[in-house]
Structure 1
Amino acid sequence: MARTLKLARRYWVVTLTVAIGALGIVLALAGAGAAVPWIFSGYALVVAAWQAVGMVRDILRGHWGLDILAITAIVATVLVGEYIAALLVVLMLTGGAALEDYANRRAKRELDALLTRSPQLAHRLDGDDLVDVHVDEVRPGDRLLVRPSEIVPVDGELHSAEAAFDESSLTGESVPAEKQRGDAVLSGSVNGQAAVEIVATATAGDSQYQQIVSLVAQAAESKAPVVRLADRYAVPFTVFSLALASVAWWVSGDPVRFAEVLVLATPCPLLIAAPVAFIGGMSRAARNGVIVKGGGVLELLARAKTAVFDKTGTLTHGAPKLVAIRPESGFSADELLGLVASAEQYSSHVLAASMIEAAKQQGLSLAEAEWAREAATNGVTAKLGDREVVVGKFAFVRAQAPEARRTAIAPGELAVYVAVDGRYAGALLASDRLRANAKTTLARLDELGVHDTMMLTGDAQATADHIAAELGITRVRADCLPGDKVREVAAVAARPVIMVGDGVNDAPVLAAADVGIAMGAKGATAASESASAVILVDDISRTAKAVEIGRDTVRIALQSIWIGIIVSVGLMIIAAFGVIPATIGALLQEVVDLIAILAALRAVGGRLDARGEDRAVASDSRVGVA
């Protein structure tokens, strides 16, 4: 009952129209039916005048809409005495707007969930006191308590020994993320079953969750070109409808025929179908881990012809992993790895974490150093027990061990050299691994009509060629600066062009491309801010999914528009022969409205995604994937 009253208040014009209709029925039953035509006609003309004011404002702004048909239909039915049909046309207009709003709310629920779940309070620890403060008052360095099942208010670092967080609203991953002391904790993630302490590392405005909320707000505000294209149907549809109604009146000599045709020409399906479809498409994209910043982005994705990719962090993981250990005589592989990882604990180099992680996976214990010093960009020297270990570039190690020699490496590999007590101990090789689904993503894009692919990277030519060869990409540009990438994308002939990247250096080219897609799983960086769409999950296959959603959304939008046009025109032609009375025609148009809305809601895409998952499983079974 409460929900019904809430809906009645929200859509008060519909409620008033129904109330006017109910009043007419009561008056007719009470023997005061003579007043009903005046009440119905007067109310309908007031609504028509109200609509006419808005229509004139639109025309003065240069926008010719479809309201003229509805207003003409109301006035015509009143003039020919079809007052019941006039009230039904009013109900159709007000009810159509209400249905559109309701459908939009239904389609946007995944997007709205991010906004409504945005945390407002934080529990700050001030000494031994716990103080509730507004989230905007939290500053980096503040100690915060996050209670069981609460949303993390700001980005932070875990202060408790361990915890588990549900990050599904951020990444789409359903498995809770296990965290240890010192690990980063993202705002918007949900704490597990134990209260934990975190140390804030960012303000609310700079935190991951608020950045995503900002992207969602942008996504909800835009209007796609295809929606404006629907408005362009206004003039030809209006001219056709008025012409058909006039011919029907002229041939029959009956002005009622004019009203009967125009009742069925009321263009609610044309106005509703495209917006509902595009909001549904944005909702589907959000559910699949992609924030699309506007309906127009979906249309460009649907027509995309070229996809350009950054390499590091996009086609590859962006974090080199240990691939080989080459010890020299007197050292075992585990011994060499253990020494390197122990020394790398005191290094800030990008490879340090990879070596430490590899040692942990091998079950090796790391030794503490008596002392350690790092030579920036060259390597690290550490005293581990009675051994002095030097790890780093070839020249840095050879300065300590003159007999050191370069080891053979494949394109895309990096070598870390090691000396122990002034003696060359060997080398470890690391490589930035290609994403497992990168090749299948390119194949899927080709199936979706994106036939041209290209790779732009700041890496060396040999490394770029190696990755491109594995993926089958023939167009490669290496050693690129940000400006070079912008120029390369601008020169692409087959458009629209998609650019996929992840780093701050990709921000200019993401903004310059027709559609920039940022791999934003690790944070809303400058790349995410300048992109047209942001992938929230560390999964490049979502690029193809975004294109698929764009194609499905545009197809459904156009189908829904044409369904509304074809059904309305068919009924108008029938009405021109006097077969459909004005009152029945108004009721039929309500059915057309409902059909258009239901057709457009298919863009929300539950069944489409289910079919896609079934296809993926079948494909995996054919290639022997367990």
Structure 2
Amino acid sequence: MRRQPAPPAAASGSPGNSDGQGPAASPLEKGRNFVRRYPVVALTCLMLVAALVLLQSGLGEEARVLASAYAAVIVVVRAAGMLRALREGRWGIDLLALMAIASTVAVGEYLAALVVILMLTGGEALENFAQGRAARELRSLLDRAPRFAHREGASGVLEETPIGDVVPGDVLVVRPSELVPVDGELLSDSASLDESSLTGESLPVERTRGQQLLSGAVNGVAAIRLRAAASAADSQYSRIIALVEEASNSRAPVVRLADRYAVPFTALALAMAVMAWFLSGEALRFAEVLVVATPCPLLIAAPVAFLAGTSQAAHKGIIIKNTRTLEQLAKAQSAVFDKTGTLTSGRPVLDEIRLAPGQGETLGSRKVLQLAASAEQYSSHVLAASVIEAAAAANLDLLPVQQATESATHGVEAVCGGRQVVVGKAGLVRSSSSGFREAAVHSGQLAVHVAVDGRYAGALIMKDPLRGNAVDTLASLRRLGVHNTMLLTGDASATAAHIAEESGIDHVQAECLPEDKVNTVAAIRERPVLMVGDGVNDAPVLAAADVGIAMGAKGATAASESADVVIMLDDLSKVAQAVAIGKRTMAVALVSIWTGIGLSVVLMAIAMTGYIPAVAGALLQELVDLATILNGLRALHGADPKLKSRGLPPA
């Protein structure tokens, strides 16, 4: 079981940054901090300045000895890291850089050696900076974690208490612009909340009394009261933090792919360097070629792009728990969907009211619905809330109930507004009324029967409707290359076939147990396979799929624990958006890699002719590194114009 993060400790004052300095740190403090974080970069700059001063003072030999000795130390120290890389199969990453430093020292180009060292260490610092920017959206979740809650005491006085001390049932007050500290039920009449950090929804969300509030949402302009429904550790925001921490500690396959590119790249660079030496007869030419062949672009490009991609996804309410998932999303060929709560809303709605001759026609559809909803106030059946919501949508006031008796799983009998009302399954209503007739229903429908004053009045036909954006989502997935689609559900075959036809899904398998779903997904040949679900019964198949996507907006379930992607907003279109982000990120990463390789090869070819001195070559390679970092950061932004022009969802 994955460990849940502990609630953040109480903190006072302004939080410091990652460097341990406050937000108002002076330039001197920032400089000291930079030296602590990047000592080799600072020391190399110092050595370069010292060498230039010695040269200006006419002490060329002393400058050469100082720079050469320092470069030798760096080569020895970095060689240890190179040996570790060799054991991991990444023999091309550091080898060229160390050979470039050693060869420039050997031919007396000690200033170029210092520039190469600065390029290597400075490139690492630039990568660190770029990764910091790319991960900004992920870190913002951690930085904004609630720390305190205002709890109502027994006398109604507010007590400021650490968030970890809040227990379910506590009544809390959330002041304007504060974060909701834990998941809870709204006790105030209404609330306006900013849930953008949780769901990606930029517009304020309106909530009414009795609705659930998610921790991490920002309250609007009026204070609200809520009843805690969970502890801090079990609330939505802590679960998001756990997912973010998991996402930020992963390494993508494309990085290993970049390592493999370094193997032929190293061979090509050495071949060109040897040829330049052979044709010119000058060892200096060998060093000049190697200086511009340092494979920093391969080392930097992929991590920056992948962190940018996961950051963009988090900003849009899509938590990608492992960056390896981005490559699988980009290559996905099949998508498998659960039905209830995934393709459908998971909440039955009123489809139509069928009135029985006599009693039903006399009362009329609005009166039948009003009486049924009034009686359902005292039912715990799953459909009761849907009937009450249908009455509210029709602007019907619920009648006072004088007496109510529920028959578990069958229905409820109540006296509403002076009338005897029975609402529920056919068996209960048939035994309690005259004139009953079974309502004919189509696939995906079910009937709630109603009797009034001992006579059958009619049936409320309910259905679990297809999500409004399901058809468009399936079409977007096909445009993204996910051509094989399947519906897996435990529901009856007729209902499943109806939903599949309505949404445009190719294949259907109904009446599935959890193990049947796992076996079916394992047998799919068109891979990688996406599996989209939301319930506890989906957890095994989400874990078994190449990419498990959990519709986790309603809270952390076993599904979201097992999934690779959690969609925080209850929006099916985010599935296609996640695939679009994966494709965009992969494209940016590969462009960065090939751009770095291409520019390096061009510079090597020019260096073979002797037109690029060693020092200039080292500086040019630094520009190549910068170009790959900037290109990798493009994954922070939306899908490229080619994707948009094909009608794909904006990433």
Q: Which residue of 1 aligns with 2:135?
A: 108
Partner amino acid for 2:242? S
Contact 2:97 2:291 (C-alpha < 8 Å) held by counterparts: yes
TM-score (norm 2): 0.91
Q: Which residue of 2 aligns with 1:119?
A: 146
Task: Tell me which of 374, 393, 397 is aligned to 1:342.
Answer: 374
Pair 546,408 (structure 1): closer, same or farther in 2 beyond 3 Å:
same
Q: Which residue of 1 aligns with 2:387?
A: 355
1:75 aligns with 2:102: yes
- Equivalents in 2 of 1:425, 1:73: separation in Å? 90
Of 29-38 and 256-265, more deviation after overlay is shown by: 29-38
Q: Which residue of 2 aligns with 1:621?
A: none
- Equivalents in 2 of 1:296, 1:268: separation in Å? 22
**Displacement after TM superposition at 1:438 (Å):** 0.8
**Displacement after TM superposition at 1:610 (Å):** 12
Pair 282,376 (structure 1): closer, same or farther in 2 beyond 3 Å:
same
- Taking the TM superposition and a 5 Å limit, the aligned residue runs for 1:137-536 are 137-327=165-355, 328-536=360-568
Q: Which residue of 1 aligns with 2:621?
A: 589
**Displacement after TM superposition at 1:166 (Å):** 1.2
- Equivalents in 2 of 1:617, 1:48: separation in Å? 49
**Displacement after TM superposition at 1:616 (Å):** 7.2
**Displacement after TM superposition at 1:611 (Å):** 7.6
- Equivalents in 2 of 1:396, 1:598: separation in Å? 69
Of 269-278 and 161-170, more deviation after overlay is shown by: 161-170
Q: Which residue of 2 aligns with 1:623?
A: none
- Equivalents in 1 of 2:598, 2:552: separation in Å? 43
Of 29-38 and 252-261, more deviation after overlay is shown by: 29-38
Contact 2:90 2:260 (C-alpha < 8 Å) held by counterparts: no
- Equivalents in 1 of 2:435, 2:44: separation in Å? 93
- Equivalents in 2 of 1:578, 1:500: separation in Å? 58
Contact 2:479 2:646 (C-alpha < 8 Å) held by counterparts: no
**Displacement after TM superposition at 1:175 (Å):** 2.5
Q: Which residue of 2 aligns with 1:66?
A: 93
Of 113-122 and 57-66, more deviation after overlay is shown by: 57-66
Of 325-334 and 295-304, more deviation after overlay is shown by: 325-334
Partner amino acid for 2:141? L
- Equivalents in 1 of 2:338, 2:587: separation in Å? 30
Pair 614,124 (structure 1): closer, same or farther in 2 beyond 3 Å:
farther
Structure 1 residues 226-250: Cα deviation after superposition (integer angstroms, max 9, x where no partner): 1111111232222222232223223
Of 85-94 and 327-336, more deviation after overlay is shown by: 327-336
Q: Which residue of 1 aligns with 2:62?
A: 35
Q: Which residue of 2 aligns with 1:96?
A: 123
- Equivalents in 1 of 2:106, 2:643: separation in Å? 53
- Equivalents in 1 of 2:320, 2:613: separation in Å? 46
Describe the SS at the equivalent of 2:264.
helix
- Equivalents in 2 of 1:613, 1:111: separation in Å? 29
- Equivalents in 2 of 1:106, 1:331: separation in Å? 65
Partner amino acid for 1:181? R
Unpaired segments of 5 or more residues in structure 1? 619-626
**Displacement after TM superposition at 1:595 (Å):** 1.3
- Equivalents in 1 of 2:453, 2:34: separation in Å? 79
Partner amino acid for 2:416? L
Of 255-264 and 162-171, more deviation after overlay is shown by: 162-171
Partner amino acid for 2:78? Q
- Equivalents in 2 of 1:613, 1:174: separation in Å? 24
- Equivalents in 1 of 2:370, 2:247: separation in Å? 49
Describe the SS at the equivalent of 1:330.
helix
Across the two proteins, how many residue pairs are aligned to each other?
Answer: 618
- Equivalents in 2 of 1:617, 1:264: separation in Å? 40
**Displacement after TM superposition at 1:7 (Å):** 4.5
Q: Which residue of 1 aligns with 2:13?
A: none
Q: Which residue of 2 aligns with 1:16?
A: 43
- Equivalents in 1 of 2:329, 2:196: separation in Å? 25
**Displacement after TM superposition at 1:525 (Å):** 1.0
- Equivalents in 2 of 1:340, 1:607: separation in Å? 50
- Equivalents in 2 of 1:163, 1:517: separation in Å? 30
**Displacement after TM superposition at 1:125 (Å):** 3.0
Of 240-249 and 408-417, more deviation after overlay is shown by: 240-249
Partner amino acid for 2:168? P
TM-score (norm 1): 0.95
Over the residues paired in the alignment, what is the CA RMSD in angstroms?
A: 2.1
Contact 2:182 2:235 (C-alpha < 8 Å) held by counterparts: yes
Partner amino acid for 1:155? D
**Displacement after TM superposition at 1:86 (Å):** 0.5
Structure 1 residues 120-176: Cα deviation after superposition (integer angstroms, max 9, x where no partner): 222333334543333222222223232211111211122333322211111122232
**Displacement after TM superposition at 1:549 (Å):** 1.2
Pair 611,595 (structure 1): closer, same or farther in 2 beyond 3 Å:
same
- Equivalents in 1 of 2:489, 2:87: separation in Å? 50
- Equivalents in 1 of 2:109, 2:637: separation in Å? 42
- Equivalents in 2 of 1:614, 1:174: separation in Å? 25
**Displacement after TM superposition at 1:275 (Å):** 0.9
- Equivalents in 2 of 1:614, 1:446: separation in Å? 11
1:571 aligns with 2:603: yes
**Displacement after TM superposition at 1:255 (Å):** 1.4
Q: Which residue of 1 aligns with 2:6?
A: none
Describe the SS at the equivalent of 2:150.
strand
Partner amino acid for 2:442? A
Describe the SS at the equivalent of 1:350.
coil
- Equivalents in 2 of 1:616, 1:261: separation in Å? 44
Partner amino acid for 1:170? L
Describe the SS at the equivalent of 1:175.
coil
Pair 285,191 (structure 1): closer, same or farther in 2 beyond 3 Å:
same
Unpaired segments of 5 or more residues in structure 2? 1-25
Partner amino acid for 2:243? L
Pair 550,591 (structure 1): closer, same or farther in 2 beyond 3 Å:
same
- Equivalents in 2 of 1:356, 1:176: separation in Å? 26
Partner amino acid for 1:149? S
Partner amino acid for 1:486? V
- Taking the TM superposition and a 5 Å limit, the aligned residue runs for 1:47-62 are 47-62=74-89
- Equivalents in 1 of 2:516, 2:277: separation in Å? 66
